[in-house]
């Protein structure tokens, strides 16, 4: 497809990196330095100018584009860029819109301005953090089929009961309906078979129903109940969305920020939260405010380095009793922190935003009725977990899975029947019309579920 990206910042760069191998990309930005940087790194067309300008979009050949994605720093430019693109004949437009005031108008804006999708990065990142806090034993949690089936990321610690155990042995001994669908081991990414043996340090990805996953972690002795008290450092927009959702879930929320003005503002918006003016890097302050009695600590300031330092300090002080989450956007820092294993979970607003947009694009590419409903990237993008909806006339329907000749690097991780029944697939199961099917793949760019076959 021909795709125009307005804005060569963090999200624009991430999208370019993920899309360039499959699509023709044109980037628009007013900053000549950003344009030079992206052109030097990737094989893209680039136009320096205002992405909301008719002349600039004409120069970028918007009339020939299938999709325009507006990720500039200004919501107004993004909205106007999408409107201009629609007038030039672009069928699909996506806008990054961060201002909470515009959220109430999104339904109107989608219809009147022709927006295919509007994304608020802070809000989608906040929702991901809230999901993790519902299941703190996991490093990361993804949902399929409206939460009926979940995929969790978990690292095997030292002296883990799973060290040296094969997957077949694990399934037989626990008798819990879970499936290990991917394993990250050092520089390797593996879609495992039953004879695969787990090792300390492995990062494993498990799929099942939420209650089965809870039973599995209880069996391991590492289950943590849903967090009931959360300390958040950084009174940002993301903090507002996160605290609002946590309060709605009945959690106790404490917010710390150095800015008195931001504290006053968020206190007015969230009267049920306890808001404190203070320095989140001050260990003594954190202890005084009850860090050691808190279930979860979340660092989401605008500075990655500060979030890392605060999170590492909180993890050390709590000695593992407190779930620690940090917002880190820079890839180099994410890789560094992941290797150290000091922080339980890492969130990137840029990453979750790019993933939602890529999911939309993959659904656009699907030529049949088997729409890609959900797409999640695992192991830094090396593995994809996709959810397909299966129409009545689809191929593969009614064929036992053991009789299907699938490509290497593919695993069916779950089936959700039309009646809501969850199936952790075995050889005798078959896909039925109306099913939601979750497939996990490595090194494949799936558009249709039949792409799984040789």
pTM of the model: 0.84
| Mean pLDDT of the 58-70 span | 96
pLDDT on residue 368: 47
- At 355 the pLDDT is 86
Q: Which residue has the higher pLDDT, 369 or 13?
A: 13
Residue 448 is predicted with a pLDDT of 73
CA-wise closest residue to 26 among 61, 54, 78? 61
User: Which CATH number, 3.40.1710.10, 1.20.1260.10, 3.40.50.720, 3.90.1200.10, labels domain 2-119?
Assistant: 3.40.50.720
User: CATH assignment of 352-452?
Assistant: 3.30.70.1450
* Separation in Å, CA 324 to CA 26, 214, 221, 256, 315: 39, 19, 19, 15, 6
List the structure tokens of 269. 């918006």
79 — pLDDT class (breaks 50, 70, 90):
very high
Which residue ranges make up each domain of the chain? 2-119, 125-220, 229-347, 352-452
163-210 pLDDT, tens digit each = 999 999 999 888 888 999 999 998 888 999 889 999 998 999 999 998
Up-side HSE of residue 343: CA atoms within 13 Å toward CB?
Answer: 26
Arithmetic mean of pLDDT, 57-81: 95
User: Please, what's the largest Cα pairwise distance for the chain?
Assistant: 66
Per-residue model confidence (pLDDT) at position 340: 67
Architecture of domain 125-220: 2-Layer Sandwich (3.30)
Can you say how many angstroms the Cα of residue 161 is from the centroid of all Cα atoms in its chain? Answer: 29
Convert the chain into a string of H (helix), E (strand) and C (coil). Answer: CEEEEECCCHHHHHHHHHHCCCCEEEEEECCHHHHHHHHHHCCCEEEECCCCCHHHHHHCCHHHCCEEEECCCCHHHHHHHHHHHHHCCCCEEEEECCCHHHHCCHHHHHHHHCCCEEECHHHHHHHHHHHHHHCCCCCEEEEEHHHCEEEEEEECCCCCCCCCCEHHHHHHHHCCCCEEEEEEECCEEECCCCCCECCCCCEEEEEECHHHHHHHHHHHCCCCCCCCEEEEECCCHHHHHHHHHHHHCCCEEEEEECCHHHHHHHHHHCCCCEEEECCCCCHHHHHHCCHHHCCEEEECCCCHHHHHHHHHHHHHHHCCCCEEEEECCCHHHHHHHHHHCCCCEEECHHHHHHHHHHHHHHHHHCCCCCCEEEEEEEHHHCEEEEEEECCCCCCCECCEHHHCCECCCEEEEEEECCCCCEECCCCCCEECCCCEEEEEEECCCCCCHHHHEC
Average pLDDT of the segment spanning 54-65: 96
Asked if the model's pLDDT at residue 112 lies above 80, the reply is no
pLDDT of residue 377: 83
Assess whether pLDDT exceeds 60 at residue 150. yes
Answer whether residue 369 shows pLDDT above 60: no
User: For the chain, what percent of residues have pLDDT higher than 70?
Assistant: 97
Highest mean pLDDT among 52-66, 373-387, 436-450: 52-66
Check if the beta carbon of residue 205 is closer than 8 Å to that of residue 183: yes
Residue 108 has a CB neighbour count (10 Å cut-off) of 9
Q: What is the model's pLDDT at position 34?
A: 94
In this structure, CATH architecture of domain 229-347 = 3-Layer(aba) Sandwich (3.40)
Mean pLDDT of 124-143: 89
Question: Can you tell me the distance from the alpha carbon of 438 to that of 372, in angstroms, rounded to the nearest whole number?
Answer: 10
Tell me, what's the pLDDT at 396?
Answer: 82
φ, ψ of residue 52 to 5 degrees: the values are: -90, 0
Q: Taking 80 as the threshold, does the pLDDT of residue 145 lie above it?
A: yes
Residue 410 clears pLDDT 70, i.e. is over it: yes
Whether residue 126 is predicted with pLDDT greater than 70 in this model: the reply is yes
For 212-235, the pLDDT digits (tens) are 998 998 888 877 788 899 999 999
Rg (CA), the chain: 23
Note the pLDDT of residue 366: 62
User: Is pLDDT of 370 > 60?
Assistant: no
Give yes or no for residue 106 having a pLDDT over 50: yes
Two domains, one topology: 2-119 and 229-347: yes
pLDDT of residue 381: 77
Look at residue 426 and tell me whether its pLDDT is greater than 90: no
């Amino acid at each position: 497809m021909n795709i125009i990206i307005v804005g060569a910042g963090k999200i624009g760069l991430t999208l370019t990196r993920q899309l360039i191998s499959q699509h023709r990309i044109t980037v628009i930005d007013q900053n000549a330095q950003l344009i030079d940087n992206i052109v030097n790194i990737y094989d893209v067309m680039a136009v320096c100018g205002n992405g909301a300008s008719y002349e600039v979009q004409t120069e970028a050949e918007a009339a020939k584009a299938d999709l325009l994605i507006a990720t500039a720093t200004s919501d107004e430019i993004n909205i106007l860029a999408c409107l201009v693109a629609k007038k030039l004949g672009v069928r699909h437009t996506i806008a990054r819109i961060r201002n909470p005031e515009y959220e109430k108008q999104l339904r109107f804006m989608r219809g009147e301005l022709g927006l295919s999708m509007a994304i608020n990065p802070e809000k989608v990142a906040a929702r991901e953090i809230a999901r993790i806090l519902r299941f703190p034993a996991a490093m990361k949690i993804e949902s399929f089929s409206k939460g009926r089936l979940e995929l969790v990321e978990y690292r095997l610690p030292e002296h883990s009961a799973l060290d040296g155990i094969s997957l077949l042995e694990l399934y037989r001994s626990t008798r819990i309906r879970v499936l290990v669908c991917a394993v990250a081991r050092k520089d390797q990414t593996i879609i495992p078979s039953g004879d695969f043996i787990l090792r300390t340090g492995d990062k494993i990805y498990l799929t099942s129903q939420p209650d089965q996953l809870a039973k599995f972690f209880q069996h391991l002795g590492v289950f943590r109940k849903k967090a009931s008290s959360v300390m958040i450092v950084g009174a940002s927009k993301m903090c507002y969305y996160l605290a609002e959702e946590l309060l709605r879930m009945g959690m106790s929320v404490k917010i710390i920020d150095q800015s008195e003005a931001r504290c006053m503002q968020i206190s007015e918006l969230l009267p049920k939260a306890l808001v404190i003016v203070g320095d989140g890097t001050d260990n003594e302050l954190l202890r005084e405010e009850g860090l050691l009695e808190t279930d979860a600590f979340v660092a989401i300031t605008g500075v990655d380095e500060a979030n890392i330092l605060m999170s590492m300090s909180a993890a050390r002080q709590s000695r593992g009793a407190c779930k620690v989450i940090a917002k880190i956007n820079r890839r180099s820092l994410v890789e560094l922190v992941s290797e150290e294993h000091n922080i339980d979970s890492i969130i990137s607003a840029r990453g979750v935003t790019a993933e939602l947009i890529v999911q939309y694009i993959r659904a656009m590419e699907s030529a049949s009725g088997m729409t890609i409903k959900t797409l999640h990237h695992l192991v830094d993008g090396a593995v994809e977990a996709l959810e397909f909806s299966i129409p009545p006339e689809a191929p593969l329907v009614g064929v036992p899975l053991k009789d299907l000749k699938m490509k290497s690097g593919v695993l069916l991780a779950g089936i959700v029947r039309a009646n809501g029944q969850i199936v952790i697939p075995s050889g005798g199961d078959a896909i039925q019309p109306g099913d939601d099917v979750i497939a996990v793949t490595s090194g494949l760019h799936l558009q249709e579920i039949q792409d799984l076959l040789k």
